[in-house]
Amino acid sequence: MDNFAAYQATAYSVRDRLIDNWNSTQQYHSSKDPKRVYYLSLEFLIGRTLDNALLNLNVKPNYQKALTDVGFRLEDFIHEEVDAALGNGGLGRLAACFMDSLATLDYPAWGYGIRYTYGIFQQKIVDGYQTEYPDYWLTFGNPWEIERLDVTYEVNFRGYVEKYTDDEGVDRYTWEGGEKVVAVAYDYPIPGFGTKNCINIRLWSSKPKREFDFAQFNEGNYDKSVEEQKAAENITSVLYPNDNHLVGKVLRLKQQFFFVCATLQDVIRRFKKAARPWSEFPEQVAIQLNDTHPTLGIVELQRILVDEENLSWDEAWDIVTKTYSYTNHTVLPEALEKWSVPLIQDLLPRHMMIIFDINLFFLQEVEKKFPNDRDKLRRMSIIQEGNPQYVRMAHLAAIGSHKVNGVAELHSELVRTTIFSDFVEFYGAEKFTNVTNGVTPRRWLHQANPWLSDLITQKLGGTQWLKDLSQLSKIKAYATDAAFQKAWMETKHKNKVRLAEYIKQTLGISVNTEALFDVQCKRLHEYKRQFMNILGVIHRYERLKSLSAAERQKIVPHVVIFSGKAAPGYYIAKLIIKLINNVAEVINQDPEISPYLQLIFIPNYSVSIAEILIPASDISQHISTAGTEASGTSNMKFVLNGGLILGTVDGANIEIGEEVGDENIFFFGTLTPQVEDIRHEQMYRSLTLEPRLEKVVHSIQNNNYGDSIIFEPLLATLRTDYYLLSKDFGPYLDSMDKVDVAFKDRAGWAKKSITAAASMGKFSSDRSIQEYALRIWNAKPVTVE
């Protein structure tokens, strides 16, 4: 039996246990019929399941022993599992962390999403450039899903709307769909940690309504009958690879409606099992929209209630708004969803009518409250005027929800003061709230970093801290204990060796595990400023070159590590990857400098790579232009694993700083309120670059890192410098020097690392979920017996 067969055998055995817990959970919930929480997300970035399931079910030692008895070792085949990579980045991974917390905290919750045939593309680096390959992740089957051929719904597109008058003389409409497809459920059990509660992510897959059109076939239209079949299957075939950026493709809108339509049918079927009046729907159902992607669910519920259940418009709308709530994940204008009216009209004619009606009634209320303010009506309208008109999905989501939340304090403040300022004035401030993101300590410490997890468990006398992360603070008492510092730093070193082995295997490069590991891994984006980081690396390299051998000895050696994917159509982001790889080529082949500086780009960043990368870092960089990164969540994972942050005063960095204390985080750069002013200023005078930056740019232009002509479009972005690289470059370098000074003091560094990690209690996704449950969903845990 080979490793893959051993993995499969183990996986199918664990799957049986999951299904047992999952069945008893579903049965128990059916009998109690509590309020359910539904988390609707177009992305769930789950990663691997085997190790996580073994740990959450508390059966890992049993399996290890059983496997040893038959001559296998779990460590040898656990990597055979392919990641479930049905997400782009932070937003998708947040959904997966939330599922772990919902299960662990005993909530009767469901995730709903799409079972993409192709997950996020696989990235390979060819000649320094990113190239994309399809992620056909289901080739060898998937032990972690349960195909539910018994759970299917029809989904309509296009067709026409008919008007009639009901018995009370009210105008009513029916939508007769044109194209029909079928949604088939695939269930993904999510076990809680230390509980029987095992919840479900239900992912929909599209199938043709008729397996095969025999009428067409018999007329000799063989091609056409297959065409229809393919078109139906196409809907759930591929995850759109854009992060923080809108690309308005029809197929994407089809995905959005397909998934909310099937989901609502499923939710309503469950609600109808008990004979309750519709008015009780919001007491039984809370639906959270993960960004605006599932916003059509608001319109679809209104349609079902009015057109099919014959409720009055107002009764229906009251139910809808009490049921839904919406999480915003970005204020970047290019990421806010807009769909053209003609497009929606064509695909979903009745929904477009309903959107216009929602907008009409809403604007009438605005007009009542703020009479004669035409400009306010224009700004607040769901419809952006123009040719064509557009539907602003964020407006629709906010108007159709009872709560809107941002994902970190600063971001929520920006939500209130920028994109939704008019809405705060209209609704009052209470509707717009904050729930700071969190991460699950089960996957991101216990599973990814067993050495550190064991050390903490030993010190705290048990694993209770994994269900109550605030208990970590008790570790602070040992921050200056020499023996504990030694044990702590030994775990860090082991993790660095583990990563070094991975780098050796995949890239053939041996990195110095005594060096400071300096990591930036996240989606490539101009606002995240990987460009500033690589320019800083060039500066460091050229400074090292200018030093004597004796002077170099005093410099703290760095291993700089980048990892991350660029959207396939994002040209500038892809050039940044090429620049990183070109610079790596020069630095790593310079034997004089390699002892002091190495540069690694790890291809194909994924959840599984993050699990190796994050525990190995000494410093990680979270250096977005202030006001652009809504929260960030890897920042939390790094500090939880004893790494420190070099970062801007942005997103959740700010709250991490409040918890760990100023001496345990390296902040630099322009503050949010100044960013707009500086941009404005920069527009009116030709920008002179910070001198050290200027030198680096010249060096690139002198072809020191390959033919510079290819980098012209990238360097040109520094002329307007929208993301303030030049403004922040000096403070960035200075703050890096402070990192080096601190790193030289080994005991001082250990103290910082311990204190910071021990201060991370707030950033458990358990805390986030408890806030949602209490302040937004009004949902209570149910202990499965």
The residue at minimum Cβ distance from ligand GPK is 90
Residues with Cβ within 8 Å of 289's Cβ and at least 6 positions away in sequence, in order, are: 40, 295, 297, 298, 324, 325, 326, 327, 397, 401
Of the residues 633, 648, 670, 755, which is catalytic? 633
Q: Which helix (H) or strand (E) holds 765?
A: helix 765-772
Rounded to a whole number of angstroms, the minimum distance from the CB of residue 211 to ligand GPK is 36
Known catalytic membership, residue 672:
no
Q: What is the DSSP pairing of strand 324-327 with strand 285-290?
A: parallel
Helix (H, G, I), strand (E, B) or coil at 779: coil
Known catalytic membership, residue 431:
no
In our burial notation (b when 16+ CB lie closer than 10 A, e otherwise), range 470-502 reads ebbeebeebbebeebbebbbebbebbbebbbee
| Cβ neighbours around 203 below 10 Å, total | 23
Known catalytic membership, residue 554:
no
In this structure, are residues 211 and 41 in contact, taking their beta carbons and an 8 Å threshold?
no
| Cβ neighbours around 384 below 10 Å, total | 16
Name the residue nearer to ligand GPK (CB basis): 91 or 600: 91
Cβ burial of 278 (10 Å; 0-12, 13-18, 19+) is middle
Name the residue nearer to ligand GPK (CB basis): 153 or 570: 570
In this structure, are residues 135 and 122 in contact, taking their beta carbons and an 8 Å threshold?
yes
Name the residue nearer to ligand GPK (CB basis): 88 or 434: 88
Q: Residue 219 forms beta bridges with which residues?
A: none
Type of residue found at 600:
I
Of the residues 15, 35, 254, 522, which is catalytic? 522
Rounded to a whole number of angstroms, the minimum distance from the CB of residue 746 to ligand GPK is 32
Name the residue nearer to ligand GPK (CB basis): 8 or 244: 244
Of the residues 431, 528, 552, 565, which is catalytic? 528
**Beta strand residue intervals within 500-640, DSSP E:** 516-521, 558-563, 597-602, 619-622
DSSP 555-572: SPPEEEEEE----TT-HH
Instruction: Single out the residue of 532, 558, 564, 563 nearest to residue 668, CA to CA.
Output: 532
Q: How far apart are CA 625 and CA 618, in angstroms?
A: 22
Instruction: Single out the residue of 431, 438, 439, 484 nearest to residue 460, CA to CA.
Output: 484
Query: Following CA atoms 303, 308, 312, 316 in sequence, which dihedral angle do they give, to the nearest 10 degrees?
Result: -50
Name the residue nearer to ligand GPK (CB basis): 145 or 243: 243
Name the residue nearer to ligand GPK (CB basis): 587 or 609: 609
Instruction: Single out the residue of 42, 564, 473 nearest to residue 255, CA to CA.
Output: 42
Residues with Cβ within 8 Å of 710's Cβ and at least 6 positions away in sequence, in order, are: 575, 578
Chain contacts with ligand GPK (rule: CB under 6 A):
88-91, 94, 243-244, 329-330, 335, 407, 437, 629-633, 651
Rounded to a whole number of angstroms, the minimum distance from the CB of residue 326 to ligand GPK is 13
Of the residues 202, 254, 293, 523, which is catalytic? 523
Rounded to a whole number of angstroms, the minimum distance from the CB of residue 630 to ligand GPK is 4
Rounded to a whole number of angstroms, the minimum distance from the CB of residue 443 to ligand GPK is 16
Torsion angles phi and psi, residue 685, rounded to 5 = -135, 150
Torsion angles phi and psi, residue 680, rounded to 5 = -65, -50
In this structure, are residues 33 and 108 in contact, taking their beta carbons and an 8 Å threshold?
no
Name the residue nearer to ligand GPK (CB basis): 396 or 584: 396
CA angle at 109 for the pair 107 and 115, rounded to the nearest 5°: 145
Rounded to a whole number of angstroms, the minimum distance from the CB of residue 286 to ligand GPK is 19
- Tokens 């610079």, residue located: 583
Of the residues 329, 403, 443, 751, which is catalytic? 329
Structure tokens at 55: 């740990």
Rounded to a whole number of angstroms, the minimum distance from the CB of residue 397 to ligand GPK is 13
- Tokens 């043709």, residue located: 208
Known catalytic membership, residue 525:
no
Name the residue nearer to ligand GPK (CB basis): 528 or 751: 528
Name the residue nearer to ligand GPK (CB basis): 35 or 528: 528
Known catalytic membership, residue 523:
yes
Known catalytic membership, residue 637:
yes
Residues with Cβ within 8 Å of 551's Cβ and at least 6 positions away in sequence, in order, are: none
Rounded to a whole number of angstroms, the minimum distance from the CB of residue 407 to ligand GPK is 4
Name the residue nearer to ligand GPK (CB basis): 329 or 442: 329
Of the residues 637, 751, 752, 767, which is catalytic? 637
Rounded to a whole number of angstroms, the minimum distance from the CB of residue 267 to ligand GPK is 24
Alpha carbon 772 to its chain's center: 17
Name the residue nearer to ligand GPK (CB basis): 71 or 333: 333
Q: How far apart are CA 116 and CA 553, in angstroms?
A: 52
Rounded to a whole number of angstroms, the minimum distance from the CB of residue 664 to ligand GPK is 21
Q: Residue 156 forms beta bridges with which residues?
A: 180
Rounded to a whole number of angstroms, the minimum distance from the CB of residue 285 to ligand GPK is 23
The catalytic residue positions are: 329, 522-523, 528, 633, 637
